[in-house]
A and B are shown apart, each in its own frame.
Chain A
Amino acid sequence: MKKILAMLAIVLFVGNVMAQEEEISFERKQAIDSLALEKVRDLSKYIKIVGSKETAWSEANRVIDRAEELFMSNAEIGVSSVASNNIKYYKVRPYLEHLMRLNYDRVEIEWYNIEYVSDLQRQPDGTYVGVITIFQTFRGYDKEGNLAYKDTTKKDITVYVKRKETQIGGRMIGFWDVLLGDMRVKETANK
């Protein structure tokens, strides 16, 4: 259903292609937010699959490929904990591979039902930039089934929105392309 909505949002944008739009209407912004949220939800889903100990190695690798496609090629993930502000930087694949290799017998990854979408701001080249904030709780259990580690992280994900155009049946069609950029992962004081 969500996929259909996202597709509908794209279709709604089909029309006359303008070189640069000065102002995006409230309604259109909402549609773009939905597109961006769809990508972030896909990422959440992929993180859950990759993190699960029940996912086969080959399947996890296939999902990491899909997750990488959501991001811009140079995107980085910056991770810090409550104990240390020092940010560790990862590329998307090593970050997910690290998650896949965590040494727990069982892992639970829960996503809070909170998705906060910032306003879009334009950067100098005209590309719109936004940030979507989501929250995740991670629990790792040892062989005896005891909780060995738990954290709740705030994930601030950069979203780049660019108006692009493509030719379909001899007609120029405009659409909004959404890609994820750098992601900041910060542990929240949840104890």
Chain B
Amino acid sequence: MRRQKIEDRSKKIRGGWFSTLLVLVLLLSFGTMPVSAQSIGDVQMDEANLYAMTKQMGQFIRRFNYEEDQFGNKINPKDPAYRNKQKRQQSMSILFDQETYGNQPDLQQYFIEDVTANDSTYMTFLGGRWYSEVSATFKYNGKEVNLIMILGVEKEGLGSKWVLNNIYFSEFNKLFPTGDLTEKEKHFLHPMSHELDFMNIYKIFKEPEVAEYYASRSFEPNYLTLFFYEIKKGHLVFQHVDSVKFHVFQIKDWYFEVSWFNRNSSNAGWLISNLIYIPEKDKKDLLKFYEP
């Protein structure tokens, strides 16, 4: 019932008193933070903003779970304040980009209510189903191109590491377009081809752009293999990272994106830039991109 309500309400999002209240809460929360007296005039204001900034993705996780106080001090798991439901509810709005979610307070509020309910969910580093999207510039056959790398945390040995899960590169996608079904059905090797020593196999190679139509129904192009191939051949050459963001599917029935907001404001750093209610059963298909 509550889930239905969230689904319904998340569809009709309204601005209003909640955003005003939120700004007030933020001002009250951070107005009381300690600032050290320094000689440079504007440093004190900056310092309050830097305290408020979600400085690391790890801090995002700790704030999300309420495992640290508003000053960034880690809370002992034995302390009643650790993961305190009420404090978690009160503080979680600082993790939203208020330029987006200040105008969508309902969705933000229902998310907070849902994740802090009695069957509350927490985000953990090794909990899986959260990915990093690294947008980078490469040179492809001498020309600058943008490419997206999807990385995930994988347990190995005594710890863990970030590994490449998938690639999005428009040039690769162009090679494997979603073809027209009737066109696809025209391309096959008839079932008695073997008796003719596959004399008709040349058809596969006559039209390279549709060569994959001759593959098994289960065939899925592996873009990561293509990526490594092009790197090894020297056709793709890394230039630099342009931006990083995170996609989190770990929280039950929710997906959110966390992006870096570099601005002189108390609402800065790693913040939720996109939030969608997605029932668990619907996540399976989406996850195929992040973890093929």
Contact = CB atoms under 8 A, between A and B. Distances in A.
23 contacts: A26-B76, A29-B74, A33-B74, A85-B240, A87-B241, A113-B47, A114-B51, A114-B72, A116-B72, A118-B58, A119-B62, A121-B160, A123-B161, A124-B160, A124-B161, A125-B159, A133-B55, A135-B50, A137-B40, A188-B50, A189-B262, A190-B46, A190-B264
B243 interface: yes
B91 to A, nearest CB: 16
A182 interface: no
B197 interface: no
Would you list the 7 A-B pairs with minimal beta carbon distance, nearest first?
Answer: A122-B159, A124-B157, A113-B36, A126-B158, A118-B58, A124-B156, A133-B55
B242 interface: yes
A122 B154 CA distance: 12
A125 B50 contact: no
Interface residues of A, number: 38
Given A189-B262, A190-B46, A87 B240 contact: yes
Chain B, interface size: which category?
20 to 34
A189 B243 CA distance: 16
A191 B36 CA distance: 20
Interface in A79-138: 82, 85-87, 108, 110, 112-114, 116-119, 121-127, 131, 133, 135, 137
A188 B156 contact: no
B175 to A, nearest CB: 28
Given A113-B47, A116-B55, A124-B160, A85 B125 contact: no
A131 B56 contact: yes
A119 B67 CA distance: 11
A8 B242 CA distance: 43
A74 interface: no
Interface string B233-262: 000000011110000000000000000001
Contact of A154 (B35, B39, B55, B264): B55
Nearest to B243: A85
A122 B74 CA distance: 18
B286 to A, nearest CB: 26
Interface in B208-249: 240-243
